């Protein structure tokens, strides 16, 4: 392997837009890694390609009432509801911690209107140590009866182009699996000016408590993540790879290096590890080591040699 055989670049497509260069393709997934503090006790955060921070909203949010997380056979269902300190507190209190490390910071943003997405993009662009924005479109649109943005391709393009005008940072649009044709949604994100897409967010699901004879989660439905969703995620990464030319960040149930390699062969340029961190706090580093072992075993110089290779 070359010394920089793991380095991946997401080119900034628009004029004036920076590239996002990761030292390696492993990213800690938003909402499963907080702002990195808890994990710094277990791993060296410098080893991560990037940290996608907990989903941010303009103001602080307490999230949904409990119970809001339930374990299932092959994953978890959560309805956390975007608990977070809000943009200002994130910049004041969390950014100084994150900037100590030589890893990229991806700010994940969740809005309930186009205006909220635009405001957050502008505000975060003023913070010089943020390397990219991940636009989480799996949120309800308050102007359209709570319809989830991600399920409406037109809205996905509208949000992406509005964010594009508001920032020079690379834009990653995070797609929801809860749609019929994810390829067409990805195309609209690309048309709106996204530099990359990330997928998948959680799969809509529920659990029932048979003793109490009612849903476990207070919100009834939540999002399923973990190994249970890996085959769905892989299929959708495959479809998106055939639909767009921008890089893909793949995620959904990645627990080890071999899982990550599957995503890369399906078309992902980089991968994120989410629920795996809850089971094993060193999961991100273990995934990276597994990727390195695979590259060594297959005499590969650069990780790019594998991207989309299964489509041959």
Ligand X SMILES: Cc1cc2nc3c(=O)[nH]c(=O)nc-3n(C[C@H](O)[C@H](O)[C@H](O)COP(=O)(O)O)c2cc1C
Judged by the rule CB under 6 A, the positions of this chain that interact with ligand X are 29-32, 54-55, 76, 78, 80, 82, 108, 136, 174, 201-202, 225-226, 229, 251-254, 273-276
User: Given the complex with ligand X, which of 55 and 170 has the nearer CB atom?
Assistant: 55
Q: What is the sign, positive or negative, of the torsion defined by CA atoms of 60, 64, 66, 72?
A: negative
User: Given the complex with ligand X, which of 30 and 243 has the nearer CB atom?
Assistant: 30
- Smallest gap from Cβ 239 to ligand X, in A, equals 17
Tell me if 162 sits within 8 A of 141, measured CB to CB.
no
User: Given the complex with ligand X, which of 247 and 299 has the nearer CB atom?
Assistant: 247
User: Given the complex with ligand X, which of 229 and 248 has the nearer CB atom?
Assistant: 229
- Smallest gap from Cβ 253 to ligand X, in A, equals 4
Tell me the HSE value of 9 on the side-chain side, using a 13 A CA sphere.
8
- Smallest gap from Cβ 203 to ligand X, in A, equals 8
284 is catalytic: no
- Smallest gap from Cβ 212 to ligand X, in A, equals 23
Neighbours of 200 (CB within 10 A): 27
User: Given the complex with ligand X, which of 278 and 300 has the nearer CB atom?
Assistant: 278
- Smallest gap from Cβ 113 to ligand X, in A, equals 17
Count of all residues that appear for the chain in the document? 312
Which residue's C-beta sits nearest to ligand X?
A: 31
User: Given the complex with ligand X, which of 5 and 281 has the nearer CB atom?
Assistant: 281
Peptide bond into 180 cis (omega under 30): no
User: Given the complex with ligand X, which of 6 and 200 has the nearer CB atom?
Assistant: 200
Q: Distance between CA atoms of 278 and 159, rounded to whole angstroms?
A: 31
- In a 3-state reduction of DSSP, which class is residue 308? coil
Tell me if 207 sits within 8 A of 217, measured CB to CB.
yes
Contacts of 82 (CB under 8 A, 6+ apart): 55, 57, 61, 63, 110, 139
Q: Is 237 exposed, middle or buried (0-12, 13-18, 19+ CB in 10 A)?
A: buried
- Produce one character per residue of 253-281: b if its CB has 16 or more CB atoms within 10 Å, e if not: bbbbbebbbbbbbbbbbbbbbbbbbeeeb
Query: What's the chain's Rg over C-alpha atoms?
Result: 18
Q: Enter the tokens of residue 234.
A: 């892989």
Q: Enter the tokens of residue 229.
A: 């969703």
- Smallest gap from Cβ 1 to ligand X, in A, equals 25
- Smallest gap from Cβ 173 to ligand X, in A, equals 10
Active-site choice (20, 98, 139, 196)? 139
Q: Is 90 exposed, middle or buried (0-12, 13-18, 19+ CB in 10 A)?
A: buried
Catalytic sites, residue numbers: 139
């Amino acid at each position: 392997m070359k010394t920089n055989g793991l380095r991946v670049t997401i080119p900034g497509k628009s004029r004036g837009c920076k590239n996002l260069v990761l030292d390696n393709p492993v990213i800690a997934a938003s909402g499963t890694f907080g702002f990195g503090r808890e994990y710094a006790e277990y791993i060296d955060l410098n080893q991560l390609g990037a940290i996608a921070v907990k989903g941010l909203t303009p103001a602080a949010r307490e999230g949904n009432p409990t119970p809001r997380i339930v374990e299932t056979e092959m994953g978890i269902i959560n309805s956390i509801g975007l608990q977070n300190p809000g943009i200002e507190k994130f910049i004041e209190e969390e950014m100084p911690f994150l900037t100590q490390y030589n890893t990229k910071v991806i700010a994940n943003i969740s809005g309930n209107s186009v205006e909220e997405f635009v405001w957050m993009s502008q505000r975060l662009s003023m913070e010089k140590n943020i390397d990219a924005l991940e636009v989480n479109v799996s949120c309800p649109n308050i102007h359209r009866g709570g319809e989830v943005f991600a399920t409406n391709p037109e809205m996905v393009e509208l949000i992406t182009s509005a964010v594009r005008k508001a920032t020079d940072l690379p834009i990653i649009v995070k797609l929801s699996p809860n749609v019929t044709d994810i390829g067409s949604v990805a195309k609209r994100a690309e048309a709106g000016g996204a530099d990359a897409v990330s997928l998948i967010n959680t799969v809509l699901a529920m659990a029932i408590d048979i003793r109490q004879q009612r849903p476990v989660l207070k919100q009834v439905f939540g999002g399923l993540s973990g190994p249970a969703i890996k085959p769905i995620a892989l299929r959708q990464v495959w479809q998106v790879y055939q639909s767009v030319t921008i890089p893909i960040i793949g995620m959904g149930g990645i627990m080890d290096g071999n899982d990550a390699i599957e995503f890369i062969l399906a078309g992902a340029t980089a991968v994120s590890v989410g629920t795996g961190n809850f089971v094993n706090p060193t999961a991100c580093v273990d995934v990276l080591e597994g990727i390195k072992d695979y590259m060594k075993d297959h005499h590969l110089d650069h990780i790019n040699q594998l991207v989309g290779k299964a489509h041959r």
